[in-house]
Structures are given as structure tokens and as C-alpha cells.
Amino acid sequence: MTASPSLIAAHSRNDTALGILCLCAGIGLFAIQDLILKLLSGSYPLSEAMVLRGLTAMPLLIALAYRDGGLRTLITPATGRMIARGVIMFMAYAAYYLALPALPIATTVALYFTAPLFITVLSVLWLKENVGWRRWAAVALGFSGVVVMVRPGAAMFDWAALMVLLSGLSYGGAMIFARKLGETETAPAMAFWGNFVFLVVALAMSAAFGSGAFANESHPTLAFLLRGWAWPTTIDALLMCGCGVIAALGLTLLTQAYRIADSNAVAPFEYSYMLWGVLWGWTFFDEWPDLTGWIGIAIIMAAGLLVLWREKVNELPPAFERLSADPEQP
């Protein structure tokens, strides 16, 4: 004998501690994916890692879709729009992954957290939402932190940082897209078609660059994009496939977090991603942000938290809930 869904929902929405635990665990898993890709980026091309990740994730996402409404949810009148959204998501993933070998992980993660700022801007331009001056001030503050971190014109500037900003913008656009699709489509269905696009484009990239004819080692990002395929060691192959498992498990944990706890209570813990970025960079790559980097990180985090706080005051869905409502993250 089981409780009714309404009673379960009423009880589970108060389980804040468990929700925070699930969210932090999910964030930790995605942080491990970043570490794996950065470790592999010096020996293999991105397309190879993406193909193995996509192939591994596909049966898991099919199982999730079957559990959440059945396979009929995959073919709907909105399938074309889900595929179009998948293209935008691919841009977000690819841009983020390509920046990883060129930038410290902490810098990459911090710049990625411009996504909630882009969501605020796009929600005005696309959805015609009303945004008060405090959230606009938070957006301006956040982008000032970006300028501090990117340091345009300085000797330390790396154009790969612009790839992360493109990732944040693309991800923000995909989340706005998801808000419309989410009215009629399930999260696993959107994830399935996102992964489908991910896999198809990765196979196309493999056909174009897999031979190594265009290999370019002049910059870590170009090397990761254009390097030819190499037969992986057993451990490396397992790591690439493990990224697909991470995507599915991370999805489950993040979705569960927002199902069982109030979004405003768990959303700030998205920033635990930043702690992992600093830890992995320091432990594996001897990376540690300098003073200017820490200032930029602090500004971007403060701006994101201010956006969350203002959305809580105005009783709007938090920006990070919009991010985490998506089945996969970079």
C-alpha cells in the first residue's frame, strides 16, 4: 500500500536537507566530468569523447523516458523544436568543453555561471518578462566580474574565455527554450533529443577531423577540436563512457533535488560547483586563481546570488532552477 502522489509531494517538498544533499552530489558528479575531459583533452579529440559519451548515455536516457511517461513522449508535435533546442545545447556543451584544456577549471566554471545572467536578459528579450532595476544591477555587476576575469587586452587574455561566455549564452537560450517546451514535453524527452543531436554532430565532427588531417597543436582548444582519433587505453575508454553515466546520474540527482525541496533553498548550493573547480585545478593541474581571478569569481558569484535573492522576493522561478530543470549540464 502506497501513499497518494499528493501526500508524497506535500511531504517531499519539505525535505530540504535531502534536497541539498542530492543537489551537491549531482554537482559533484558533473564536476568529475569536467575533470575527466580536461585530463583526456591532451591525448584525444573532443569528438571521440563526445561519441563514446553519447552512445553510453542513449540507453540510459531511453530508460528514463520510458519511466517518465513512456516512449511515446519522444515523438510528439514538438519533436522538431526539441531537436532545434538540442542544437543550441550542443553549442553550449561544445564551447564549454573546448575551453577546458586552455583555461583553469575554476575560471571555466566561474565564467559558465554567467548563464543565469544571460537567462535574465533573454527572459526580457524573448519572454517579455518584467525585470526590476535590482536584477539589472546584478546583471551589470556579474558582467563586470567577467571583464575582471577575462582581462581583455591584457597579456594573460585567452580567447578560449570567450568560448565559455558563448556556452553561457547558448545554455541560457536553451533554458528559455525549455521553459516553453516544458509546458508540454517531459524532461527525459528533451534530454533524449539533446543527446541525439549531440551524438549525430559528434559523429559528423569525427568524419571531418578524425583522420587528423587538420590537426593543430598551436592552441589547446584547437588541438582538442582538430586532433585525430586515437585508440584509447581501456582506462581512458571507460572514463569517456563514464561521462555518459555521469550525465544520467547527475540528471537524476538534480531533478530529485528540485522535486523534494524548495528551489530557493537548494539553488544557492549550485555554487558548490565552484569549490570543485578550485579543488580539481589545485590537486591535478597545480592551478590556483590569482588575486584578480578571485575578485572576478567573487563578483560573478555575488551577482548570481543577488539574482536568486531577487527572484525569491518576486516569487519567480529561480535562474538556477531553470538551469537544473534541464536534464544535462556541461
Decide if 98 contacts 160 (C-beta within 8 A): yes
DSSP state of 75: S
Decide if 171 contacts 323 (C-beta within 8 A): yes
The pLDDT of 166-181, averaged and rounded, is 80
End-to-end CA distance of the chain: 40
- How remote is the C-alpha of 127 from its chain's centroid? 22
Band the pLDDT of 148: cuts 50, 70, 90: confident
pLDDT at 330: 53
Q: What single string gives the DSSP state of each residue in 278-298? A: HHHHHHHH-----HHHHHHHH
pLDDT at 205 over 90: yes
pLDDT at 312: 58
How far apart CA 311 and CA 317 sit, in angstroms, is 7
The whole-chain average pLDDT of the chain stands at 81
Q: Residue by residue, what is the 3-state secondary structure of 58-105?
A: HHHHHHHHHHCCCHHHHCCCCHHHHHHHHHHHHHHHHHHHHHCCCCCH
DSSP state of 159: T
Smallest CA-to-CA distance from 244 within 57, 28, 29 is with 57
How far apart CA 27 and CA 52 sit, in angstroms, is 21
How far apart CA 300 and CA 282 sit, in angstroms, is 20
The pLDDT of 220-240, averaged and rounded, is 93
Give residue-wise pLDDT tens across range 31-61. 999 999 999 999 999 999 999 999 998 998 8
- How remote is the C-alpha of 208 from its chain's centroid? 26
Band the pLDDT of 223: cuts 50, 70, 90: very high
How far apart CA 107 and CA 104 sit, in angstroms, is 5
Greater confidence (1 vs 56) lies with 56
pLDDT at 71 over 50: yes
Band the pLDDT of 11: cuts 50, 70, 90: very low
Give residue-wise pLDDT tens across range 128-143. 777 777 878 888 888 8
* Predicted model pTM: 0.81
Query: Lowest-confidence range among 150-159, 161-170, 206-215, 287-296?
Result: 150-159
Amino acid at 299: I
The pLDDT of 227-236, averaged and rounded, is 94
Give residue-wise pLDDT tens across range 262-313. 766 777 788 888 889 899 989 998 888 888 888 988 898 888 888 777 665 5
Decide if 175 contacts 322 (C-beta within 8 A): yes
Per-domain residue ranges of the chain:
27-324
